[in-house]
Structure 1
Amino acid sequence: MFKKTVFAGLMASAVFASAATAESNIEIHDAYARASGMSAVAGAAFMMIHNAGDQDDQLIDARSDVSARVELHTHIMEDGIAKMRRVEGGFTIPAGGGHILERGADHVMFMGLTQPFEQGAEIPVTLVFEHAGEIEIMIPVDLERTAGEMNHDHDHDHGDAGSMNH
């Protein structure tokens, strides 16, 4: 048990260190991943991305070994039907503001899962930003979270809530 705790602590330190050494103004909050079931071939990740800098940034790519392909997606309405589409060019993260990746909207899509998303597991993901570069994070799998349920309890102020780009 002790070894697992120490290893988890070291992994968390490594994740935060990689973001810190990049001197990034990008902060990732409340990230979680879901798949529709143990036999699912696709899954998705959601999070709040905040840009504490004074220059807009762009999330341009995401990578992970948990699936054959990882893409940035959004939902669009086509003939009255909601469909997912890849977003070429990614998502703008405005200076001093943020962008929410959430169910039914913008998200990171994992296609061709190499293993099931199990409750409580963590998946490694590299987010690639135009200015901040690569930020490696561990995203917990939460199969119990409902749509629209974001945890807004984190310890910094986003300023005007209207600055968050939904």
Structure 2
Amino acid sequence: MNKFLRILSLAALSAVMFAAPARAEDIKAGDLVISQAWSRATPGGAKVAGGYLTIENMGTAPDKLVSVSADIAGKADVHEMAMDNGVMKMRPLDKGLVIDPGKTVKLAPGGYHLMLQELKGPFKQGDKVPVTLEFEKAGKVTVSLDVQGVGAQAPGGGGSMMMKKMPDHSGMKM
């Protein structure tokens, strides 16, 4: 019985460790905390990739993500993907993305995301792709996107059965 309890305790501890977000790579910029930056590996010849991350505003005033750039891409934007009368539409956020005080904005598949276009090379699983985010108040911040597998739905290998799967739009034409 004692061995069973140890195994059960170890399993519970492992579940908690893998379910908790990795806070070790958080980046602080002004009042913002940027975490869980990732992307997907790209199939051969792909010219676009998405970037995903979480931005938390710990301050008392809003900040705005106004632009993004990456040496590996000829063009980079902040995009929004949303349903409009049953049709999935994607558009750049020309006026930026506001992060209100005390709020967290998650850039994830199927919603807000970084759109990296005119790729100069493939993203391979295990790579770290540097991108520069520019905020109205926090200024320029460089983060590394941890490249996951082609079909990943979340950082750290693609999520688990406990996570809701988002639709995969990596093959969507622009």
TM-score, scaled to structure 2: 0.69
Name the amino acid aligned to 1:106: Y
CA distance in 2, matches of 1:126, 1:48: 14
Q: 2:113 aligns with which of 107, 110, 123?
A: 107
2:172 alignment counterpart:
none
Query: What is the aligned partner in structure 1 of residue 142 from structure 2?
Result: 136
Equivalent pair of 1:62/1:126 in contact (CA under 8 Å)? yes
Structure 1 residue 123 and structure 2 residue 129: aligned? yes
Kept after mapping to 2: 8 A contact 1:38/1:117: no
Q: Partners in 1 of 2:41 and 2:76 — Cα distance? A: 14
Between 1:23-32 and 1:75-84, the stretch displaced more is 75-84
Shift of 1:33: 1.0
- Aligned to 1:141, what secondary structure does the other structure show? strand
Residues 97-130 of structure 1, C-alpha deviations (whole Å, 9 max, x = no match)? 2101010000000011000000010111110001
Residue 53 (structure 2) pairs with residue 55 (structure 1): no
8 Å CA contact retained: 2:40, 2:149: yes
2:98 corresponds in structure 1 to 92
Moved more, 108-117 or 81-90: 81-90
| Cα distance in structure 2, aligned partners of 1:91 and 1:67 | 20
Paired residues in the alignment total 132
Deviation at 1:52, TM superposition (A): 1.1
Provide, for residues 51-70 of structure 1, a one-character-per-residue CA deviation record: whole Å limited to 9, x for no partner.
11111101111011111100
Gap regions ≥5 residues in structure 1: 1-14, 152-166
State the match for 1:64 in structure 2.
Answer: 70
- The CA distance in 2 between the partners of 1:73 and 1:89, in whole Å, is 11
Report if aligned partners of 1:38, 1:118 keep a CA contact under 8 Å in 2.
no
The superposition leaves residues 27-81 of structure 1 with CA deviations (integer Å, 9 ceiling, x where unpaired) of 1111101254132110010011011111110111101111110011011334522
What amino acid does structure 2 have at the position aligned with 1:138?
S
CA deviation string 1:117-163 (max 9, x = no partner) = 0001011111000111111111111125633x367xxxxxxxxxxxx
Tell me which stretches of 4 or more aligned residues in structure 1 moved more than 3 Å: none
SS in 1 for 2:148: coil
| Ranges in structure 2 where 5+ consecutive residues have no aligned partner | 1-24, 157-174
Q: CA RMSD in A?
A: 2.2
TM-score (norm 1): 0.72
Residues 2-13 of structure 1 correspond to what in structure 2 (within 5 A)?
none
Match of 1:82 in 2: 88
Cα distance in structure 2, aligned partners of 1:150 and 1:113: 21
Equivalent residue of 2:95, what SS? coil
The question of whether the paired residues in 2 share the 8 Å contact of 1:53 and 1:95 is answered with: yes
% identical equivalent positions:
29
